Amino acid sequence: MILTQIIQSTKERVAKCQKELPLSVLREQAENLHKAKPYTRSFENALRVENRLSFICEIKKASPSKGVINETFPYLDIARAYEKAGANAISCLSEPQYFLGSDEIFTQVREICSIPMLRKDFTIDPYMIYQAKVMGADALLLIVSALDVVQLREFYALAESLGLCVLVETHTGKEIEQALSIDARIIGVNNRDLHTFSVDVQRSLELRPLVPESKVFVSESGISSVQDLRKLQEARVDSVLIGEWFMKAQESIAHIHALRD
């Protein structure tokens, strides 16, 4: 199972990072940063756009299912293009082994962009939450299927205590129940099965009624056409996270305004 492999790889990466920068030091850095600047750009508010879809545009070089998506990967140019085209937020991969991302790529993009940023990684340890804060993230990802109930609740609370928004990713009705049990404000449905990598936007359409209108509902992955966007908008989806479509056809980035309207 690829998810299991990614989680194991992430555990090893975190252990290595902790040897270089102990948790106690990183925690102090993150907490001091929060005290000095308690409010980040609001990822949640950026996604709440009345009567139209908001766009979380993703920066990633590769994925386990597709391999290298963009060989040249001019990530700073892509970030600028996203912001210029009217993206509401940017999702940037920092997972190095399977997505060829890095913390350095994230921080470089952060330096040139003014819109909210989601650190897209497999958050399986509190260390990574403190990392996200220090890196300048406005939000991070918690995947319900990668955490137990206690971890999900504790990680969510820790992120919020540092002023970070949390995108809680789900795949099933049961996982949505878990997200609601911790009062998650931003709930995503990943249209890609993390075990088989099959993609079906219908998953978001079927699960949308389970999430109250007061929450931000995000449809993630597998969105590859204007028709997909129309279906999602008709189902009252609040936001879409799009990566591969834009990374493969960068000319489509310029049409975000048209796609949204």
pLDDT digits (tens, 9 = 90+) for 73-84: 999 999 999 999
DSSP conformational letter for 92:
E
Nearest one of 21, 241, 239, 252 to 135, comparing CA atoms: 21
What ranges do the domains of the chain cover?
2-260
With bands split at pLDDT 50, 70 and 90, how would you rate the model's confidence at 110?
very high
Global pTM? 0.95
What whole-number distance in Å separates Cα of residue 54 and Cα of residue 232?
Answer: 11
Instruction: For the chain, give the percent of residues with pLDDT over 90.
Output: 79
Instruction: For the chain, give the percent of residues with pLDDT over 70.
Output: 95
- Give 223 or 181, the one with higher predicted confidence: 181
Q: What is the CATH number of domain 2-260?
A: 3.20.20.70
Q: What is the pLDDT of residue 55?
A: 96
What whole-number distance in Å separates Cα of residue 98 and Cα of residue 63?
Answer: 6
The CA–CA distances, whole Å, from 95 to 37, 115, 232 equal 26, 21, 28
Q: Beta-carbon neighbour count of residue 25 at 10 Å?
A: 11
pLDDT single digits (tens) 158-194: 999 999 999 999 999 999 999 999 999 999 999 987 7
What whole-number distance in Å separates Cα of residue 175 and Cα of residue 107?
Answer: 31
Which distant-in-sequence residues (6+ apart) come within 8 Å of 111 by Cβ?
none
Amino acid letter, residue 56: I
